[in-house]
Structure 1
């Protein structure tokens, strides 16, 4: 049987230029088992992707901070604490790096993300004062409540779907995918993955970005 999937977005469904690979729109809608989009991006991003793919809105957003599947919606993490930490970060000279509009955080429900150009040392210093953690996904620094992870989100979605998390095949590329890999039954890191994801995955693809993900889809559907 073709297994259900848990798929990251950035670095996994994208090209090296950070664009959604157009083959995603051909391959994923035809997948016969459930697909869960698991990302560090804010909630609207994976919902919009599911919409344009024409698949059910089964998403884990903000590194597990938001879970939505089959008309169930749940939130984890304390955004108010993260906002207080970011206020202090700004008072000490820090800048999130997104400009005044800050569309990266405008619709974020459970955490705050900072640009890779932000002062990482200062961000981690402030995070520690508020008992928060900073996760480096390679695309942003995420200031979040400890213990809120993609893996917990997958367990929650699997329960809503009446599936065991071990039934899922997970594909990702970053530190925030480690818990996803640990929860799924089988995991793949694409070739461009960071060291923590590479170490945690059951398999590593030769190819990078969506080329790597596509190789996984082809191998598990045979």
Structure 2
């Protein structure tokens, strides 16, 4: 029997250029266990991915700030302090960096994401003045200003409980420091070869293959094991 999965999206289900790898649409629609998409992106992104795969919408968004399972949305992060920090950052001349429209943040409920072109040193300086009310997470795709109380791992515990599945039953695959908390609660964890140092240290296994190549390797092994 194949195990339930907790899958990061960017860097894990994508190509190096950031596109969803087409193999996602070959391997995941018929996976015969729950699949939870756990991402730093805003809530609509993983919901849409699950929808277009024809899978139940079991999702974790905003680095654990929002979780959705069985029609219930849980907001697990407080946006007050993150928004105040980003406003202070702007007042000191910092720029969020997404240009007009800012669809990256338009639907965010619990955090603020800044472009990697933003002044990281200034952002961390302003965040440090919040006395522990916020943390800055570098996912390799954006700087996320968020509540330290929210994490993908805590959100996975909530989703797993709603599904009646032990978190230890999940296999997690990811590539970034925001996946370390997922790795900590899952029974098995894999970092793809392009993973950052924090994810590599937290994972049970660091794969030789990067991006979807690594993820496909794990899924093939799990499917073979379950036969």
TM range (shorter): over 0.9
CA distance in 2, matches of 1:83, 1:208: 34
SS state of the match for residue 104, structure 2? Answer: coil
SS state of the match for residue 88, structure 1? Answer: helix
Residue of structure 1 equivalent to 2:27: 27
In the TM superposition, what is the alpha-carbon distance from 1:80 to its structure 2 partner?
2.3
* Offset from partner CA, 1:170-205 (integer Å, 9 cap, x none): 000000000000010000000110011111100111
CA distance in 1, matches of 2:185, 2:63: 14
What's the TM-score once normalised by structure 1's chain length? 0.98
Residue of structure 2 equivalent to 1:154: 156
Residue of structure 2 equivalent to 1:73: 73
RMSD: 0.7
CA distance in 2, matches of 1:127, 1:48: 32
* Offset from partner CA, 1:36-57 (integer Å, 9 cap, x none): 0000001010001111111000
Q: Does 2:36 match 1:36?
A: yes
Aligned partner of 2:172 among 166, 170, 175: 170
CA distance in 2, matches of 1:189, 1:45: 22
In the TM superposition, what is the alpha-carbon distance from 1:147 to its structure 2 partner?
2.3
Residue of structure 1 equivalent to 2:215: 213
What 5-or-longer segments of structure 1 have no aligned partner?
none
CA distance in 2, matches of 1:55, 1:88: 41
In the TM superposition, what is the alpha-carbon distance from 1:100 to its structure 2 partner?
2.2
CA distance in 1, matches of 2:190, 2:81: 34
CA distance in 1, matches of 2:82, 2:102: 15
What 5-or-longer segments of structure 2 have no aligned partner?
none
Query: Deviating runs (4+, > 6 A) in structure 1?
Result: none
